[in-house]
Amino acid sequence: MLNRRKFLTGLAAAGATAPGFFVPTARAAEQESSRFDDAVAAAKRARTAPAEKFWSEIQQSWAVDRSILNMENGGLQPAPAIVNQAFLQAWSKANEAPSHTNSRVLWPQVEGVRTRLAKAFGCEAEEMAITRNTTEGFLAVALGIKLNPGDEVLTTTQDYHRFHNDLLQRQAREGIVVRQIKLPAVPAEDAGAVVQAFANAITPRTRVLLLSHVFQLTGQVMPIRAVVQMVRAQGILVIVDGAHGFSHVAATRDELDCDIYVTSLHKWLSAPHGTGFLYIRKELIPTIWPLQPPTDRAPTDIRRFEAIGTASAAPYLAIGAALDFWEMVGVERKRERLVWLRERWVSRLAELPGVTLNTSRKPGLGGAIMSIDVAPGLSPPKLAAWLWERHRVLVAGVEHAEFRGLRVVPALYSTEAELDRFADLLLVARHDGLA
């Protein structure tokens, strides 16, 4: 594995600057890279250590508040120390002479991040737009696709409510039709039944299908590839909401065979808050209008979707450090660990009477996220409030028309002791109530 200190020092001595490395001198390179090298050394030790030692090393990469037992890592995840370091280093560099250092020195380096993200997702760099979050990418597509009055957008009752609202505004404003279908079951474990539910709902006016890769409330993984291939022959465009997919479950372009994929990188990649990407298959790029008209961009240029006005390059450049960290842990190893974290706590409750799991535990149908109704007499929102107010445990309580439960989302920094304590508290709530 590369020694970052030696690499940076060599670059600085040669007067070079590489994407993600923002140091102006050899001395600065030596100082700023020391903590990164420590993290690399820890990862090297961990790779050859027993499993518990490996994950102990990884958990120490975060500087989180351990007085809070955080089981609500669904909206935002904390970044590891090396990601925060990269962000702060770039932020400081940008503020030296912003019109020069931010605009002329740092922003051109974002192209290196684009190339790495594209490689990680399995697409071309010219198909990858770097955004601030899933919503920004979705809006660019959902509001930029040409639709006529009466054209239909098909989605499900479990997709993200914000995206429902975005589409409903277009319905009110332009006369398109937004239709929501229910999945066959919760959890939906029969991929064929899911595909058939969409097939049954398609009409001659259906133009777009919005589907989550992983449902944000339950963690259910959807059969994206099968749905895409079913509708593609009918000329229907599928927008995949990948907010909880990329770097969590299997999520490359070819695995999904998707045409459009939007995601946030401040979730499962643990990149800086306010980072994401929008993938659009190359031939579709000219057919979609960007939210903000760009300057001097060809219709085929994916960067048309990045025109947001003045912005800092720092969070985008630090995506590179997040990719470094992900690769050090190992893509498959991380996926396996996230499922292990879920099973560590849920296995103690799953078979108890009155417990309802809204997320499948079957291989390939879920990751770290679990939706659980602990007992019929316990309101999930009230249970979540009790956990926070009495025990400093952060978790979301969900009441949906089709299910209810706690949305429990551990992350790589979660320890075995924390997961055991969380399960203990749920057992106490079941036995003693919330009084």
Residue 202 predicted with pLDDT over 90: yes
Polymer length in residues for the chain: 435
Angle at 46 between CA 42 and CA 51, to 5 degrees: 150
φ, ψ dihedrals at 348, nearest 5°: -80, -15
What pLDDT, in 10s, does the model give residues 351-387?
999 999 999 999 999 999 999 999 999 999 999 999 9
Domain ranges of the chain: 111-321, 331-432
Paired residues of 398 in beta bridges: 405
Stretch among 27-41, 53-67, 197-211, 315-329 having the lowest mean pLDDT = 27-41
Position 63 scores a pLDDT of 93
Residue 23 predicted with pLDDT over 70: no
Position 294 scores a pLDDT of 86
What's the whole-number average pLDDT of the chain? 90
User: Could you tell me the pLDDT band of residue 37, with boundaries at 50, 70 and 90?
Assistant: low
What pLDDT, in 10s, does the model give residues 279-332?
999 999 999 999 988 888 999 999 999 999 999 999 999 999 999 999 999 999
Residue 16 predicted with pLDDT over 60: no
How many whole angstroms separate alpha carbon 243 and alpha carbon 224?
Answer: 14
Residue 247 predicted with pLDDT over 90: yes
Structural contact between residues 238 and 92, judged by C-beta atoms closer than 8 angstroms:
no
User: Could you tell me the pLDDT band of residue 2, with boundaries at 50, 70 and 90?
Assistant: very low
Sheet holding 396-399, edge to edge: 356-357, 370-373, 404-408, 396-399
Q: Considering only CA atoms, which of 268, 230, 349, 227 is closest in space to residue 78?
A: 268
φ, ψ dihedrals at 272, nearest 5°: -55, 150
- Report DSSP state, residue 409: B
Structural contact between residues 251 and 122, judged by C-beta atoms closer than 8 angstroms:
no
User: Could you tell me the pLDDT band of residue 25, with boundaries at 50, 70 and 90?
Assistant: very low
Instruction: Read off the pLDDT of each residue in 59-82 and give the average, rounded to a whole number.
Output: 96
Alpha-carbon distances of 184 from 140, 194, 200, 245, 404, rounded to whole Å: 30, 7, 12, 22, 17
Residue 335 predicted with pLDDT over 80: yes
Residue with tokens 């842990």: 329
Position 53 scores a pLDDT of 87
**What percentage of the chain reaches a pLDDT higher than 70?**
89
Residues 6 or more apart whose Cβ sits within 8 Å of residue 4: 33, 36, 37, 40
Position 40 scores a pLDDT of 52
Please report how many Cα atoms fall inside a 13 Å half-sphere around the Cα of residue 425, on the Cβ side. 22
Residue 241 predicted with pLDDT over 90: yes
Q: What are the DSSP calls for 96-131, one per residue?
A: TSHHHIIIIIIGGGHHHHHHHHHHHHTS-GGGEEEE
Q: Which CATH architecture has domain 111-321?
A: 3-Layer(aba) Sandwich (3.40)
Its pTM surpasses 0.85: yes
Instruction: Read off the pLDDT of each residue in 48-59 and give the average, rounded to a whole number.
Output: 81
Instruction: Read off the pLDDT of each residue in 139-156 and give the average, rounded to a whole number.
Output: 97
187: preceding bond cis by omega (within 30 degrees): yes
How many whole angstroms separate alpha carbon 166 and alpha carbon 173?
Answer: 11
Structural contact between residues 77 and 369, judged by C-beta atoms closer than 8 angstroms:
no
How many whole angstroms separate alpha carbon 243 and alpha carbon 58?
Answer: 23
Position 50 scores a pLDDT of 61
Residue 29 predicted with pLDDT over 50: no
User: Could you tell me the pLDDT band of residue 52, with boundaries at 50, 70 and 90?
Assistant: confident
Instruction: Read off the pLDDT of each residue in 134-158 and give the average, rounded to a whole number.
Output: 97
CATH fold for the domain made of 331-432: Aspartate Aminotransferase, domain 1 (3.90.1150)
